């Protein structure tokens, strides 16, 4: 039970760190899986240190306190001075430089996860390898379920901290001593001050802050320290935000019997549609807290109108399953500022702007229906989106460019099903080479060229170099991992399989936190099922298990995602589950058969986790080749695991098997 609870704590804290740091440091909106990589490195080192003298796990409360206090004292948010966006630290002071902030966050996240993982590893070593692994996975399932529960309840960080403290007090009596207890209480006090800040709420995606503006009835909504949207009376919208009304001016005869607003947010665009005579509005908003604030605070009460149906759902998922046709579909400033998880470079709105998404919109419009989308777009973004609309609808959209902010323009793109369906004097004309449309396989609307940005490459290179040094200094010689190179490659490959599953289910069922949590839970349960099978079935030639693994990866690669989108919801779910989790199951059968024969379970598992960290780095290759190709890369890595398997197994078992007796845990 202690091993299960330690493993639960480890995954719960990892998920908490990813959300907590991202909520207060806007740098992490650019460096997407930064904390995840630090966590994998920390967990790997923690396992490698499981037999080392000196117990790092005793420092877990102090390291966690250090990280919580650092983020509280040195946040990085975005503000405006003289109309220009600037970054700010505490009390409006300049923030720490990016390289200082990110370096310290990486180091502290690594330290927290390494200390907790060492506690897991010291218990891990008491069991036979497969028994330890299955208990660890069971604890991880509990960690996912626990963090999903606090997300469902919109619980603030103090609830996460209290849950972590409660677990530590149960699993290890050393943490009940005066100093660790004091560290835990201070951490809870700091999290309480942050959690109960005035006008602050926590949704499953954001830290949401609503501040009053100068005008009565207006509220400025900020998410994770970034300006996001406003609650504004209709009269002010008509005077100051004319761009929101352009679509109605271009299509004055549109009957507006049925309107769909994707990204309805705080309700401004719903209020406008109602004022223009909409008979029915489907308002789709992914964040329940933002929608609730609009319902409770908007002076025109658009969400209370009986003509409005609210859907707390991902916009693309709603389009998949919608049966209605619309006179107007409006993409109203959908810009999430956040990712669906700590891994994958996928934002909540990424699948809204692909060519396939626009074709789904086309299919949902009435014969004379209109699509409009607006935001502050850079010139190249305007050409990409307008080019996509021209490709799908067969004629260029109408373009309205208004206020300029830096290199971005307040831009409205409007297109009708008919080429002559709009009153438009400014049809779009490309300003240069038109970027290729985004696709469901490469859903990166803000990446103009298929490349990994230079700052990402530099950061990833520095992380890899630092990781080698950290492993060498904190965990000893790298030679003892040489016998487990196959497990290293398995870890990297499995992370890519996991990432592919996350993004595939996000496309098929929505980029919501709930879908994401179900995918992670499903992966862990599939792993647990594979371990249970491995414990009951002894395979005499384990290398044969690679063939169903390669076959399942090949099938998953060969089946186009578009073919799944056309299936009814239940059939889509069953087919996607089989395609996604079959490789996971066979991969873990291979891993389990190899793992049961290792000489040292902690070194072997630590090596596997470090491989997962490298997989997190390789994940960025999707920016160049797309997500489907991650399956090819995973297959190559499993082929390397196959090649190194026999030699690694022989190397790891030349000497006598290390004893699995208890070590150093009180």
Convert 497-562 into a string of H (helix), E (strand) and C (coil): HHHHHHHHHHHHHCCCHHHHHHHHHHHHHHHHHHHHHHHHCCCCCHHHHHHHHHHHHHHHHHCCHH
What per-residue confidence (pLDDT) applies to 368?
A: 92
How far apart CA 86 and CA 26 sit, in angstroms, is 11
Which residues, including other chains, have CB under 8 Å from residue 375's CB and lie 6 or more apart?
333, 334, 335, 411
Given strand 219-223, what is the order of strands in its sheet? 200-202, 207-212, 219-223, 226-231
Instruction: Match domain 2-198+449-652 to its CATH number in 1.20.1250, 1.10.1200, 1.10.8, 1.10.3470.
Output: 1.20.1250
Per-residue pLDDT band for 84 (boundaries 50, 70, 90) equals low
Per-residue pLDDT band for 140 (boundaries 50, 70, 90) equals very high
Residue 652 reports pLDDT greater than 50: no
What per-residue confidence (pLDDT) applies to 651?
A: 45
Residue 663 reports pLDDT greater than 80: no
pLDDT digits (tens, 9 = 90+) for 60-77: 999 999 999 999 999 998
Per-residue pLDDT band for 664 (boundaries 50, 70, 90) equals very low
The mean pLDDT of 264-292, rounded to a whole number, is 94
Q: What's CA 393's distance to the chain center, in Å?
A: 32
The model's pTM is 0.87
Of the listed ranges 78-92, 214-228, 452-466, the one predicted with least confidence: 78-92
Residue 514 reports pLDDT greater than 50: yes
Sign of the alpha-carbon dihedral angle for 273, 274, 278, 283: positive
The residue ranking higher by pLDDT, 269 or 53, is 269
Hey, what are 58's tokens?
Answer: 């005793």
Which residues, including other chains, have CB under 8 Å from residue 581's CB and lie 6 or more apart?
501, 522, 523, 526
Residue 588 reports pLDDT greater than 90: yes
Cα–Cα nearest to 337, from 225, 443, 258 = 225
Residue 408 reports pLDDT greater than 80: no
What per-residue confidence (pLDDT) applies to 648?
A: 52
Cα–Cα nearest to 468, from 457, 459, 477 = 477
Give CA angle at 623 (106, 345), nearest 5°: 45
How far apart CA 630 and CA 567 sit, in angstroms, is 24
How far apart CA 29 and CA 335 sit, in angstroms, is 12
Cα–Cα nearest to 363, from 388, 393, 390 = 393
Per-residue pLDDT band for 662 (boundaries 50, 70, 90) equals very low
Please, where are the H alpha helices in 59-152?
A: 60-73, 98-124, 129-152
Tokens 């009304």 belong to residue: 245
Instruction: Give the count of beta carbons closer than 10 Å to the beta carbon of residue 476.
Output: 15
- Percent of residues, the chain, with pLDDT higher than 70: 93
pLDDT digits (tens, 9 = 90+) for 285-323: 999 999 999 999 999 999 999 999 999 999 999 998 888
The mean pLDDT of 85-103, rounded to a whole number, is 87
Rounded to the nearest 5 percent, the helix, strand and coil shares of the chain are 60, 15, 25
Which residues, including other chains, have CB under 8 Å from residue 21's CB and lie 6 or more apart?
28, 35, 67, 71, 105, 109
Beta strand pairing status for 219-223 and 281-285? unpaired
The mean pLDDT of 591-600, rounded to a whole number, is 87
pLDDT, the chain, mean: 87
Hey, what are 245's tokens?
Answer: 């009304």
What per-residue confidence (pLDDT) applies to 666?
A: 26
How far apart CA 151 and CA 173 sit, in angstroms, is 29
DSSP-derived 3-state class of residue 429: coil
The mean pLDDT of 346-367, rounded to a whole number, is 89
What per-residue confidence (pLDDT) applies to 467?
A: 87
DSSP assignment of 21-78, as one string? HHHHBGGGGTSTTHHHHHHHHHHHHHHHTTTSSS-GGGGHHHHHHHHHHHHHHS-BEE
CATH of domain 229-335+355-416: 3.40.50.150
How far apart CA 146 and CA 72 sit, in angstroms, is 24
Given strand 281-285, what is the order of strands in its sheet? 308-312, 281-285, 259-262, 326-332, 365-378, 408-416, 398-405
For the chain, the domains span 2-198+449-652, 229-335+355-416
pLDDT digits (tens, 9 = 90+) for 445-470: 888 888 888 888 888 888 888 888 88
Residue 230 vs residues 193, 220, 375, 579: alpha-carbon distances, Å: 25, 5, 14, 42
Give CA angle at 374 (369, 378), nearest 5°: 135
Per-residue pLDDT band for 660 (boundaries 50, 70, 90) equals very low
How far apart CA 208 and CA 222 sit, in angstroms, is 6
Residue 172 reports pLDDT greater than 80: yes
Instruction: Dump strand ranges (E) for 272-350.
Output: 281-285, 308-312, 326-332
CB distance 114 to 53 below 8 Å: no
The mean pLDDT of 425-445, rounded to a whole number, is 89
DSSP assigned state of 427: B
CA atoms within 13 A on the CB side of 160: 31
């Amino acid at each position: 039970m202690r091993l299960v609870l330690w493993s639960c704590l480890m995954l719960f804290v990892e998920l908490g760190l990813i959300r907590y740091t991202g909520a207060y440091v806007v740098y992490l909106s650019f460096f997407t899986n930064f904390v995840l990589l630090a966590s994998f490195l920390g967990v790997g080192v923690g396992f490698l240190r499981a037999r080392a003298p000196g117990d790092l796990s005793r420092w877990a409360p102090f390291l966690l306190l250090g990280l919580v206090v650092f983020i509280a004292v040195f946040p990085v948010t975005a503000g405006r001075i003289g109309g220009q966006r600037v970054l700010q630290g505490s009390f409006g002071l300049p923030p720490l430089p990016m390289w200082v902030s990110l370096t310290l966050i990486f180091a502290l996240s690594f330290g927290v996860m390494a200390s907790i993982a060492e506690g897991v590893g010291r218990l891990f070593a008491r069991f036979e390898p497969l028994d330890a692994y299955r208990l660890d996975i069971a604890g991880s399932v509990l960690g996912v379920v626990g963090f999903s529960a606090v997300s469902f309840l919109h619980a603030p960080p103090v609830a996460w901290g209290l849950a972590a403290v409660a677990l530590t007090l149960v699993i290890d009596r050393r943490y009940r001593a005066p100093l660790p207890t004091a560290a835990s209480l201070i951490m809870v006090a700091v999290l309480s001050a942050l959690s109960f800040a005035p006008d602050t709420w926590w949704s499953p995606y954001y830290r949401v802050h609503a501040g009053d503006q100068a005008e009565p009835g207006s509220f400025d909504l900020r998410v994770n320290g970034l300006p996001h949207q406003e609650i504004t009376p209709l009269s002010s919208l008509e005077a100051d935000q004319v761009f929101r009304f352009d679509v109605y001016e271009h299509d004055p005869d549109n009957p507006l019997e049925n309107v769909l607003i994707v990204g309805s947010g705080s309700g401004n665009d719903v209020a406008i549609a109602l004022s223009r005579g909409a008979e029915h509005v489907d308002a789709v908003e992914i964040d329940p807290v933002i929608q609730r604030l609009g319902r409770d605070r908007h002076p025109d009460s658009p969400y209370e109108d009986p003509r409005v149906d609210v859907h707390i759902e991902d916009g693309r998922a709603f389009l998949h399953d919608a049966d209605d046709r619309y006179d107007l579909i409006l993409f109203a400033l959908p810009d999430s500022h956040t990712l669906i998880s700590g891994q994958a470079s996928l934002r909540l709105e990424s699948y809204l702007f692909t060519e396939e998404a626009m074709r789904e919109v086309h299919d949902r419009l009435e014969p004379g229906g209109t699509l409009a989308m607006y935001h502050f777009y850079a010139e190249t973004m305007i050409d990409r989106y307008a080019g996509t609309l021209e490709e799908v609808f067969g004629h260029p959209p109408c373009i309205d460019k208004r206020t300029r902010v830096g290199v971005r323009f307040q831009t409205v793109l409007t297109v009708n099903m008919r080429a002559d369906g709009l009153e438009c004097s400014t049809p779009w004309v490309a300003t240069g080479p038109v970027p290729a449309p985004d696709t469901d396989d490469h859903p990166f609307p803000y990446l103009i060229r298929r490349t990994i940005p230079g700052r990402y490459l530099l950061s990833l290179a520095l992380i890899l170099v630092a990781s080698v040094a950290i492993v060498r200094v904190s965990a000893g010689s790298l030679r003892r991992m040489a016998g487990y190179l196959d497990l290293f490659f398995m870890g990297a490959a499995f992370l890519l399989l996991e990432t592919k599953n996350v993004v595939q289910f996000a496309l098929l069922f929505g980029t919501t936190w709930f879908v994401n949590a179900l995918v992670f839970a499903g992966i862990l349960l599939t792993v647990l099922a594979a371990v249970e099978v491995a414990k009951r079935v002894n395979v005499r030639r384990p290398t044969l298990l690679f063939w169903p693994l390669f076959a399942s990866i090949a099938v998953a690669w060969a089946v186009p995602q578009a073919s799944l989108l056309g299936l009814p919801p239940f059939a889509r779910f069953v087919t996607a589950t089989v395609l996604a989790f079959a490789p996971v199951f066979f991969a873990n059968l291979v891993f389990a058969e190899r793992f049961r024969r290792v000489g040292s379970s902690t070194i072997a598992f630590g090596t596997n986790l470090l491989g997962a960290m490298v997989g997190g780095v390789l994940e960025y290759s999707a920016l160049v080749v797309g997500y489907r190709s991650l399956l090819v890369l995973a297959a190559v890595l499993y082929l390397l695991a196959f090649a190194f398997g026999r030699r690694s197994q022989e190397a790891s078992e030349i000497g006598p098997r290390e004893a699995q007796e208890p070590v150093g845990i009180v």
